[in-house]
Structure 1
């Protein structure tokens, strides 16, 4: 039986409670050895991963067993923020209002605490996201180059991604990757994540020497880690 890519399923989170509609995305994986569940905070849905030989019935059994957990986790997600006129998005930790100005020129640009977006409204969300990615690349590159110079290391390349579980990474070849969503975090949080990955260019591990390099580059380690734990899931709900 072919699985739908996604569907809405009525789950009963408790014995006496009424059924609640739950958005479900099915994912079949050749690497999976068992049926599993995870919450996709960006899409606001539960993802059911099935091994190749498992059917929908096995996924439904796990969903039913863990219905209360699923509904609790979905209810705890921050509200989704659509990139639309009048919406507020963070930039450097500060709220900025999106304003649509069809007659303006330049795609999307800053005007104080406003992100002005030109052109047709149907292109607005894409233009805001492109603006945020470009701003992320600019800010991250400047921080990374400064930290790399301080450590005497070389960055091969900087890539932007839209990951759910890792804010940054360092490949053995010297390529650094970051979530573009970090541009919404306060400057000192972004500084810590960039410093963390640059330090991996010297120590590709989490040894005491590695953390000494991080602390030599930025004083914000503990506060930034706490901020990301508390607020990182909210960044995934934007756009």
Structure 2
């Protein structure tokens, strides 16, 4: 895999990927971080693949412009928690507190404190949801871990280990529950067959609106930066 760029202002970084399985040249722009990947078959010259990317430059740049701008987490800013916009305000005590349309955070490294609180809240909500859905299926999972993944919202290993992006706590509650049901259903069906989706519907109900919401709005959950700001 090589790194190139489309010239211009600003230049657009390109990741080139030669694939023995690819049958044609294709472009993919990550909904999560905006990474542009150019995939091409083994027999196609790199120059031809780059030429293809140049013909798609206008489409690439427009797509990148439509992505949400990064939002630094700091006092006075708002952030969605369980889908509800909350204004970040200083706390009088030592704990992070949810108060209606506010989240109160102790001063000093507030971005990191808020991130830690959100991870704990996500673990609590996801554990409750996964316990409920696993019981409905008569199955059990071996572990539940939280990460800040950028390629997927959750996963289920063959050993029954569940992994979730803690940023799901920013989405409406029904979105978090849908992802929990999706991964728990893999305890029964380790695929995305019709049988798998039947299990999701059995324990969650009609999931189509939630699946569509993630596709259309999921990238926005990654715009919040907890590594900088007034901290």
TM-score (norm: length of structure 2):
0.78
Post-superposition CA distance 1:127-186 (Å, at most 9, x none): 222221111111000000111111110110011122223211110000011111111111
Q: Determine if contact 1:161/1:177 at 8 Å carries over to the other structure.
A: yes
Distance 1:83 1:60, change over 3 A: farther
Q: Determine if contact 2:185/2:196 at 8 Å carries over to the other structure.
A: yes
| Residue 18 (structure 2) aligns with | 33
Q: What is the CA-CA distance between 1:66 and the residue it aligns to?
A: 4.0
Q: Which has the higher contact order (CA 8 A, sep 6+)?
A: 2
Unaligned residue ranges in structure 2 (runs of 5+): 20-24, 40-46, 226-231
1:119 aligns with 2:111: no
1:218 aligns with 2:204: yes
Q: 1:176 aligns with which of 148, 158, 162?
A: 162
| Residue 42 (structure 2) aligns with | none
Distance 1:217 1:58, change over 3 A: same
Distance 1:10 1:158, change over 3 A: same
| Residue 53 (structure 1) aligns with | none
Q: What is the CA-CA distance between 1:38 and the residue it aligns to?
A: 5.2
User: Take 1:21 and 1:148, find their aligned partners in 2: how far apart are those partners?
Assistant: 48
Q: 1:74 aligns with which of 64, 73, 79?
A: 64
Moved over 3 A (4+): 34-49, 57-66
CA RMSD between the two structures: 3.1
1:104 aligns with 2:89: no
User: Take 1:134 and 1:154, find their aligned partners in 2: how far apart are those partners?
Assistant: 22
User: Take 1:127 and 1:23, find their aligned partners in 2: how far apart are those partners?
Assistant: 34
How many pairs were matched up? 214
TM-score (norm: length of structure 1):
0.75
Unaligned residue ranges in structure 1 (runs of 5+): 12-19, 50-56
Q: What is the CA-CA distance between 1:79 and the residue it aligns to?
A: 2.7
Distance 1:65 1:6, change over 3 A: closer
The alignment partner of 2:120 has SS state of: helix
Q: What is the CA-CA distance between 1:67 and the residue it aligns to?
A: 2.8
